[in-house]
Structure formats: structure tokens, C-alpha cells
Amino acid sequence: MVISRHITGKIRSARYIVEAILLPIYFLLPWLRWGEHPFIRLDIPNRKFYLLGNIFTPQEGYYLHLFLIGMGLSLFFFTTLIGRVWCGWACPQTVFTDVFDWIGRTILGSKYGKKDAPTFGKILVHFLWILVSVLGALAWVSYFADPYEMLSEVRSSAFLSSPPVWTYFTAFFTATLYLDMAFVREQFCKYACPYARFQTVMMDAHSVNVTYDLKRGEPRRKAGVQEGDCTACNLCLVVCPTGIDIREGTNVGCIACGKCVDACTKTMGKEGKKTLIGYMSETQANQPGAKVNWIRPRSLVYGTLLLCVLAAAGTLLYNRVPLYANILPDRIIQPMEVPGGLVRNFYNGHLLNLTFEERELKVEIANSTLSSPVHILLGGTEKPAIQVLGNDSQDFRIILETVALPQDQSKPTHQISLRITDLKNPNFQLQKTIPFRIPIK
């Protein structure tokens, strides 16, 4: 683990502001409610995802696919434009590292990260680190379990004798966060993070990133002789959390945190010169006064693909009917012909109401490839409607019957489209196509 030297400056202050916004969002989101329901939660046991008053199920997994594709494309797009800004400014690994660093520097001061630090101080620091790890783990678990129920279970007398399942996950994530923050930190970014492996492929000479002005800085000051502007103070090296030397060029270990920018700004300020390290492109470093070329082939490709994914997701969400219906032919009772020339097919249905309102749903025939009219019996009654409670499911049975005309008997299977409509809201409508089979004589 690298304990970098603390540095102050405009970049560091700006990152503190960003982290002061991100941390409350991370810790408070699971506690928010949309009415009486979760604002956001992934309920794995019940296989439901709550978001902004909406309920999503695994059957709508294409939304997850679009989300992941969109996240990947946005990562490519913004990396092409502004480098690894996510890593240095918003990644949880970096944000929590700053929190742990702040605790260590507050308790140990200048002795933080040194072997001769007082024993009591080090014990106190690790105790507080474990406490923050517990809080961070609880916040993470709260995205999957109700935090209000978790709090109620902690207060109950049976908590210690029969710990709920979420306590084991909390213990695991506490250990993971503590070990990561206390012993690994940004070395994970340098050696294990997959983004670091391919970020150089996404960037080019026009990408804005933390860059060293090689033309101005080199050759560095040596033995009292200075030819370039770099004073070889190495402050940019000692403040780097991953321990790299930005003067050697673009490096997979650079997370664009900007600490070296503040360090060089402070050193060059004493010389009355402009910083050698800053957020700029290689083109700007090599050609002073050059402007950033934001519109390039790769940025256009990534941007266009990202807009396509966002448009597809927006269209699907706009046309989404929060109702899941599954209607399958009965596997036990086969299609039959009854006296009077009637042919009957039997189906088992399952409705899942993905809203928090009770729905009375009408089931009717929307379209049919049969020549004769189709009569529908829902649950063995003439009333083709069924009630489903909010955020609940309902199983039901459907019987379809029709008179098998000679032209229908020539084809063993026909298609029937069922329309499921809310009696109070005609716009709440879903269609389902099912097969209708004619018995073989």
C-alpha cells in the first residue's frame, strides 16, 4: 500500500466538494421512500428491482442489458474525451480511500504512514477504519435489504441468538472493505482494475487527461544546472497515490486524481511559472495554444452508439406496461371436442401486477385466426375479469371454446391474441398470443 503525501490545492478542494456530495447519496439512498415504497432496492429473494416507484422483474432483463451497454459506452465515450476522470473523482475505491486517509491524518498527523507512529494512535486509526467499514458495508447491504427492517431486527432480542442473513453479508463486505482500504488501496487500480487495462486504448492524443508538459519541463534540473522548467523536486511523485511518475508519460497506474497537478502548481508558483502538469491533451502539451478537438471519429462513434442505446431504452420505458402475463396450455388436460361440435382448449395463466395499485383486469379476445367466434371462460365463470393486488401476483385458469368449422379443421393449430386491460384505465393494456389446437380425429 502507498501512503502518499498530503497536498492541498484547487483540485484537491474540488474533489472534496464532489466527495461531500457523493457520500451522502451513497449512504442515504436506501433510506429514501417513493411514497410508502423503496426509492431503490434490488430485492433478490423476491426477484424484483424497485426504482423511482417502478417495479422491474427478471423477465425484463433487456433493461439491464441496455443499462450495462449504456454504462460501457458512456465509459468509453467520456474516457475518449476526458480520460480517467471517473477513477479520480467518483470511483468508490478513490472516495473511500480519501475518507480513510482523512481519518489517518487526523489521528496521527505527520506520523501517518510511518513506522514510528505511536501504537495507541495506530490502534485507534484501525478501530475507526473498521467502524467506517461496517457503516459502508451496511449501506451496501441496504440496497438489497430493507434498512428499516434491519434496524428493527437489530433492536429485537433474537438478533444475537438467531442472526438474520444480512448480517453475514455485512460481515463479509466489512472485511473486504477494511482489507482493501487498509492494505491495498490504489494498488488495486494499478494492478487489478480492468478499466486500467484498456483505458489507454480508449484515449488518444486529443483526450484531456493529467499530462506532463515534456517540452517545457525537460531536461530537468540537475547538479544546480537547469535547462527545462522542471526543478526535479519529485513532489509530483511523492503525492501520487499509486506511486507512478507522471513525467514518464501516460501510465495505466494514473487515476487522474490531480494530486500531482496541485503539487506542480505549488512548486512552479514559487518559480513564478505556470504548472508543468495539468488537465490537458498531449496535443496541447506539444503545441502550446492548441485547442482540444472534441469531435473525432472515435468520440462520434461512441457518442452515436450511446445515443442509440439511450433512445432504445427511453422508447421501451415510455411504452412499458407494468404488467407481466404468462399463459400456457394446460399440460394435463388436452384440447377436446365436446358434443355440439365445440372444441375446448385449457390454459393456466399467471399475472404479476408491477404497480402498487390494485388492478381489475379484463381478458378478452383481440384477434383470432379461427373462422368462427371464440368464447372465453375465465376461472370457470362468464365474467372475463380478474383482480390483482398491488405488487402481487395471481394465478388463474382460462378455457377457450369455439365451433370447429371445416376450414378450421384443416389446420391443427391456430393463433389467438388475448387483450388484458385495466377496467379503470384503458391505456393499461397488454396483448398475449397463445396457440389454439384442433384435436386430431
Tell me the pLDDT tens digit for each residue of 363-418. Answer: 889 898 888 888 888 865 566 688 899 889 989 899 999 888 888 788 888 999 99
Cell numbers placing 383: 365474467
Peptide bond between residue 219 and the one before it cis (omega within 30 degrees of 0) = yes
How many CA atoms are closer than 13 Å to the CA of 438, on its beta-carbon side?
Answer: 21
pLDDT at 22 (0 to 100): 95
3-class state of residue 188 by DSSP: helix
Residue of 142, 152, 139 lying closest to 43 (CA atoms): 142
Strand ranges of the sheet holding 40-43, from the earlier edge strand across to the other edge: 40-43, 48-51, 54-56
Q: Is 166 left (phi over 0), alpha (psi -120 to 50) or beta?
A: alpha
pLDDT at 215 (0 to 100): 86
Rounded Cα distance, 89 and 112, in Å:
23
DSSP code at position 246: G
Cell numbers placing 118: 505511536
DSSP code at position 180: I
Q: Which regions of the chain carry the CATH code 2.60.40.10?
A: 323-437
Sign of CA dihedral 309, 315, 316, 318: positive
pLDDT at 282 (0 to 100): 86
pLDDT at 293 (0 to 100): 86
Tell me the pLDDT tens digit for each residue of 222-254. Answer: 766 677 888 888 999 999 988 888 988 877 888
Let me know: does 375 contact 341? Beta carbons within 8 Å: no
Rounded Cα distance, 189 and 211, in Å:
18
Task: Name the strand (E) or helix (H) holding 10.
Answer: helix 10-28
Cell numbers placing 338: 365436446
Cell numbers placing 96: 473511500
pLDDT at 284 (0 to 100): 85
Rounded Cα distance, 80 and 365, in Å:
53
> Which residue is listed with cell 475518507?
99
DSSP code at position 9: S
Residue of 265, 401, 390 lying closest to 346 (CA atoms): 401
For 215, phi and psi rounded to 5 degrees?
Answer: -65, -40
Amino acid residing at 206: H
- pLDDT < 70: residue spans in the chain: 1-2, 223-225, 379-384, 441
Question: Distance of alpha carbon 91 from its chain centroid, rounded?
Answer: 12
Let me know: does 293 contact 81? Beta carbons within 8 Å: no
Expressed in angstroms, the distance from the first to the final Cα of the chain is 79
Cell numbers placing 317: 420505458
Domain 323-437 has CATH 3.40.640.10: no
Alpha helices, DSSP H only, in 61-118?
61-82, 85-89, 92-108
Alpha helices, DSSP H only, in 293-377?
297-318
For 40, phi and psi rounded to 5 degrees?
Answer: -155, 130
How distant, in Å, are the alpha carbons of 24, 102, 194 from that of 106?
A: 21, 6, 33
